[in-house]
Amino acid sequence: MAEPLVEIRGLTVSFDGLPALRGVDLAIGRGEAVALVGESGCGKSVTWLAALGLLPGKARVSGSVTLEGAELIGAPAPALDRIRGGRVAMIFQDPASSLNPVHRIGKQIVEALRLHRGLSGAAAREEARRLLDQVGMPDARRRLDAFPHELSGGQNQRVMIAMALAGRPELLVADEPTTALDVTIQAQILELLAEIRRDTGMALVLVSHDLGVVAETCERVCVMYAGRIVEETAAERLFAGPAHPYAEGLLAALPPMDGPRRPLAAIPGGVPEPWAMPRGCAFAPRCPRRAAACEAAPPPLAEVAPDHRAACLYPGAAAMVSPAPALMPA
Partner 1 sequence: MLRFLSLRLARALLTLVLVVTFAFVVLRLSGDPALLIMSADAPPEAIAAFRRAWGLDDPLWAQYLRYFTAIFQGDLGNSMRDGRSAVSLVGERIPATLALTVPALFIKIGLGIPAGVYAALHRNSWADRAVMLLAVAGFTVPSFVLGLMLVLLFAVQLGWLPSGGQESWRHAILPVITLGLGGAAVLARFTRSAMLEVLGQPYMRTALAKGVPWQVAVRRHALPNAAIPTVTIVGFMIGSLLAGAVVVESVFSWPGVGRLLVVAVANRDLAVVQAILLLVAATMVTANLVVDLLYGVLDPRLRNGARGTA
Provide the binding-site residues for partner 1, judged by CB under 8 A.
Answer: 49, 52, 54, 77-78, 81-86, 89-90, 92, 94, 97-103, 111-112, 115-116, 147, 149-150, 160, 163-164, 166-167
Q: How far is the CB of 200 from partner 1 (least distance, A)?
A: 17
Residue 53 backbone phi and psi in degrees, to 5? 70, 35
* Least spacing, CB of residue 36 vs partner 1, in Å: 17
In the complex, the smallest distance separating the C-beta of residue 225 from partner 1, rounded to whole angstroms, is: 25
- Of 98 and 134, nearer to partner 1 (C-beta) is 98
Q: Do 111 and 96 form a contact (C-beta atoms < 8 A)?
A: no
- Our CB check for partner 1 shows the closer of 99 and 238 to be 99
Task: Decide if 116 contacts 165 (C-beta within 8 A).
Answer: no
Q: Using alpha carbons only, what angle is made at residue 63 by residues 59 and 68, rounded to the nearest 5 degrees?
A: 115
User: What residue type is 42 in one-letter code?
Assistant: C
Q: How far, in whole angstroms, is CA 202 from its chain's centroid?
A: 15
Q: Which is nearer to partner 1, 96 or 291 (CB)?
A: 96
Beta-bridge partner residues of 206: 35, 174
Least distance from C-beta 189 to partner 1, angstroms? 16
Q: Give the nearest distance from C-beta 81 to partner 1 in angstroms.
A: 5
Q: Which is nearer to partner 1, 205 or 301 (CB)?
A: 205
HSE on the CB side for 46, CA within 13 Å? 28
| Of 115, 118, 117, 109, residue with least CA distance to 81 | 115
Nearer to partner 1, 134 or 233 (CB): 134
Q: What is the DSSP string of 135-202?
A: TT-TTHHHHTT--GGGS-HHHHHHHHHHHHHTT--SEEEEESTTTTS-HHHHHHHHHHHHHHHHHH--
Min. distance of Cβ 281 from partner 1 in angstroms? 33
Least distance in angstroms from the C-beta of 104 to partner 1: 8
* Cβ proximity to partner 1, 115 vs 305, nearer residue: 115
Rounded to whole angstroms, how far apart are CA atoms 117 and 115?
6
CB nearer to partner 1: pick between 54 and 277: 54
Give the up-direction half-sphere exposure of residue 211: CA atoms within 13 A in the CB hemisphere. 22
